[in-house]
Amino acid sequence: MKGKWILAGSLLACVLSGCATASLSTRGRNVQAIASAPGPECENLGIIFGQGGGTFGGAYISNDQLMEYAMNDAMNKAAERGATHLQVTPPQLGGTQGTTTTATVSAIAFRCPNSGANAAAAPAQAPAAPSFLDNCPQKEGESSRARAIRCKAEAASPPAKE
């Protein structure tokens, strides 16, 4: 009889681990999800796959949660590789018998300089060059576009002699 309880407990543990969900780790929170590849200064760390849900319990989790767990898993894995950014694609949902049970995110991990903790040490950018709009106030009822056209024309013409 004791053997049956051990077997039942083991089976239950296997079922529950099949629908494990990933929470976002402390390091994973520092990874920034991006839609397009960052600049050439960033090092490509390779492809990452994040998964949420599972065969047995994924059917009892909402699609939004499955996608969140897949993103969390991908960001945690990227953080383990030392990534600062993660270029992600839309999640792919999978399932059986008409029920969604899993979500998978594929992404590319990047390590970029001057991001996260390193950003504070980055040099400040030089102030922008003066604009022709700086000393050209908007007239009452004038649209921003009309103001820009008027001010640009005034800046291009020589000053009037008094």
Residue-level pLDDT at 77: 96
Beta strands 99-111; 85-88: pairing state = antiparallel
Domains of the chain, each with CATH number or no CATH: 19-115 (3.30.110.70)
pLDDT of residue 87: 93
Is pTM beyond 0.95? Reply is no
Where residue 10 falls (left for φ over 0; alpha for ψ -120 to 50; beta otherwise) is alpha
Tokens coding 64: 């939004």
- Running along the chain, 162 residues long, what does each successive block of 10 average in pLDDT? 51 45 85 91 94 66 80 94 93 72 89 64 52 80 82 76 60
What pLDDT, on a 0 to 100 scale, did the predictor assign at position 129?
66
